[in-house]
């Protein structure tokens, strides 16, 4: 079964707007539709995880953006926030189970440190990757899914 990734992103964006009105969300315009053979529930879980992180780990009012692009044979979903960023030394480790950058602060926020480990294995199960680029004032997670998943 093929799923429209653009529609899946819009559904995740609608759910985010409803649950986190404290973080303004922008959906960046991209393709009108992008049909892939993927597991919609699992990919939705990945999107929800990344959007929840953007809200959970940034102060209220911090803008979040999400968008879909096609590049180099991959669909790329970019989830970005204008929060504090993630120190370079922690950027690889945030994908490890139970790893949180600021343990005291993250515990206050209720995180267990599992979200990115789960998201990363769900994406890898689709033959894709999650990349992270962050600096103070900007955290960008990019989920890449191969377009070769497109045809039956």
Helix (H) / strand (E) containing 143: strand 138-146
Contact predicate 136/69, CB 8 Å:
no
Residue facing Mg ion at closest CB distance = 115
Between CA 75 and CA 34 the distance in angstroms is 8
Question: Which of the stretches 12-20, 24-32, 96-104, 122-130 binds ligand ATP when contact is defined by CB under 6 A?
Answer: 96-104
Is position 139 an interface residue for Mg ion (rule: CB under 5 A)? no
- Selected binder of ligand ATP within 15, 56, 133, 147 (CB under 6 A): 56
What does 101 interact with, of ligand ATP, Mg ion, none (CB < 5 to 8 A by kind)?
ligand ATP
Is position 25 an interface residue for ligand ATP (rule: CB under 6 A)? no
Is position 133 an interface residue for ligand ATP (rule: CB under 6 A)? no
**Residue 72 or residue 108: which is nearer to ligand ATP going by CB?**
108
- Selected binder of ligand ATP within 77, 81, 130, 149 (CB under 6 A): 81
Q: How far is the CB of 9 from ligand ATP (least distance, A)?
A: 17
Contact predicate 61/20, CB 8 Å:
no
Q: How many residues bind ligand ATP (CB under 6 A)?
A: 23
Contact predicate 68/5, CB 8 Å:
yes
Cβ-defined contacts of 10-16 (< 8 Å, 24+): 11/44, 12/44, 12/47, 12/48, 12/51, 12/66, 13/51, 13/66, 15/48, 16/48, 16/51, 16/52, 16/55, 16/64
Between CA 74 and CA 147 the distance in angstroms is 5
The residue ranges that bind ligand ATP (CB under 6 A) are 53-54, 56-58, 81, 83-84, 86, 94, 99-102, 106, 111-117, 139
The residue ranges that bind Mg ion (CB under 5 A) are 53, 115
């Amino acid at each position: 079964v093929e799923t429209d990734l653009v529609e899946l992103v819009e559904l995740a964006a609608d759910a985010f707007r409803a649950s986190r009105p404290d973080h303004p969300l922008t959906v960046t315009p991209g393709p009108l539709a992008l049909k892939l053979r993927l597991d919609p529930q699992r990919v939705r879980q990945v999107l929800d995880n990344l959007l929840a992180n953007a809200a959970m780990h940034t102060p209220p009012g911090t803008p979040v953006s999400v968008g879909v692009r096609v590049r180099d044979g991959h669909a790329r979903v970019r989830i970005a926030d204008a929060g504090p960023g993630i120190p370079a030394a922690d950027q690889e480790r945030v994908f490890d189970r139970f790893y949180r950058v600021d343990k005291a602060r993250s515990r206050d926020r209720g995180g267990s440190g599992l979200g990115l480990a789960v998201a990363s294995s769900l994406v890898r199960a689709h033959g894709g990757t999650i990349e992270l680029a962050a600096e103070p004032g900007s955290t960008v997670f990019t989920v890449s899914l191969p377009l070769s998943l497109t045809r039956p």
